[in-house]
Chain A
Amino acid sequence: MKKLFKLIPFFLVALVLTACSAAEETATESTTDEAVICAPESLETLTPGVLTIATGEPAYYPWVIDDAPESGQGFEAAVAYAVAAQLGYDQAAVTWVRTTFDAAIAPGPKTFDINLQQYSITDQRREVVDFSSPYYKANQTIISFKGSKLDGVTTLQGVADAGAKLGAAVGTTSLEVIESAFGLSPAVYNDNAAGVTALKNQQIDGLVVDLPTAFYLAAVEIPDGIIVGQIEGSDASDQGFGLLLAKSSPITSCVTQAVDAIRSSGELANITSQWLADSAGAPVLQ
Chain B
Amino acid sequence: MIENQGRRIGDNSDPAPYDFGGAWQPSEIELTRRVARRKRNQRNALIAAGSSAVVIGSLIVVLVTSPGWIALRDTFFKWAYGVEILPKILLGFTTNMTLTVIAGSSVAIIGLMIALIRTSRTPALTPFRFLAMIYVDVFRGIPMLLVILLIGFGVPALQLKGVTNNVLVLGTIAVIITYSAYVAEVIRSGILTIHPSQRAAARSLGLSHFQTLRFVVLPQAIKRVTPPLLNDLVALIKDTGLISILGVTDAVRAAQIQTAKTFNYTPYVMAACVFLAVTIPLTRATDRMLRRTLERQNAQGQA
Question: Direct contact between A and B in the complex (CB less than 8 angstroms)?
Answer: yes
Contact residues in A for B56 (Cβ distance below 8 Å): 8-9, 12-13
B153 at the interface (CB under 8 A from A): yes
Q: A5-B52, A188-B257, A189-B247 are in contact. Are A21 and B70 (CB under 8 A)?
A: yes
| Complexed CA–CA distance, A194 and B247 (Å) | 8
B89 to A: closest C-beta gap in Å: 14
Give chain B's interface residue range (CB within 8 Å of chain A): 35 or more
Q: List 18 A-B contacts (CB under 8 A).
A: A2-B45, A5-B49, A8-B49, A12-B56, A12-B60, A25-B70, A105-B263, A125-B263, A127-B263, A128-B263, A170-B256, A170-B257, A175-B257, A185-B249, A188-B249, A201-B156, A203-B247, A204-B247
B56-92 interface (Cβ within 8 A of A): 56-57, 60, 63-64, 70, 73-75, 77, 79
A202 at the interface (CB under 8 A from B): yes
**B247, A17: Cβ atoms under 8 Å?**
no
Tally of contact residues, A, Cβ under 8 A = 41
Query: Which residue of chain B lies nearest to A12 when distances are taken between CB atoms in the complex?
Result: B56
A residues near B (Cβ < 8 Å) are 1-2, 5, 8-9, 12-13, 16-18, 21, 23, 25, 102, 105-107, 124-125, 127-128, 167, 170-171, 175-176, 185-190, 194-195, 197-198, 200-204
A199 to B: closest C-beta gap in Å: 10
B300 to A: closest C-beta gap in Å: 30
**A25, B74: Cβ atoms under 8 Å?**
yes
Contact residues in A for B124 (Cβ distance below 8 Å): none
The residue that B167 contacts in the complex, of A21, A105, A203, with Cβ under 8 A, is A203
The 9 closest A-B pairs by CB, nearest first: A171-B260, A201-B156, A187-B247, A9-B56, A128-B263, A5-B49, A197-B153, A203-B165, A189-B247
Contact residues in A for B153 (Cβ distance below 8 Å): 194, 197-198, 201
Contact residues in B for A107 (Cβ distance below 8 Å): 75, 263
**A1, B247: Cβ atoms under 8 Å?**
no
Contact residues in B for A106 (Cβ distance below 8 Å): 263
A219 to B: closest C-beta gap in Å: 20
The residue that A202 contacts in the complex, of B156, B244, B256, B261, with Cβ under 8 A, is B156
Contact residues in A for B260 (Cβ distance below 8 Å): 102, 105, 170-171
| Complexed CA–CA distance, A167 and B257 (Å) | 13
The residue that B60 contacts in the complex, of A13, A23, A185, A200, with Cβ under 8 A, is A13
Contact residues in B for A204 (Cβ distance below 8 Å): 247
B48 at the interface (CB under 8 A from A): yes
The residue that B45 contacts in the complex, of A5, A12, A25, with Cβ under 8 A, is A5
Contact residues in A for B166 (Cβ distance below 8 Å): 203
B155 to A: closest C-beta gap in Å: 9
Query: Which residue of chain B lies nearest to A106 when distances are taken between CB atoms in the complex?
Result: B263
Contact residues in B for A170 (Cβ distance below 8 Å): 253, 256-257, 260
B257 to A: closest C-beta gap in Å: 6
A229 to B: closest C-beta gap in Å: 22
B211-249 interface (Cβ within 8 A of A): 244-249
Q: A127-B263, A201-B156 are in contact. Are A1 and B45 (CB under 8 A)?
A: yes
> Interface code B245-267, partner A: CB below 8 Å = 1, 0 otherwise?
11111000100110011110000
B136 to A: closest C-beta gap in Å: 29
Q: A2-B45, A187-B249, A189-B247 are in contact. Are A198 and B53 (CB under 8 A)?
A: no
Contact residues in B for A128 (Cβ distance below 8 Å): 263
Contact residues in B for A16 (Cβ distance below 8 Å): 60, 63-64
The residue that A17 contacts in the complex, of B75, B77, B248, B263, with Cβ under 8 A, is B77
Contact residues in B for A1 (Cβ distance below 8 Å): 45
| Complexed CA–CA distance, A84 and B53 (Å) | 58
B100 to A: closest C-beta gap in Å: 21
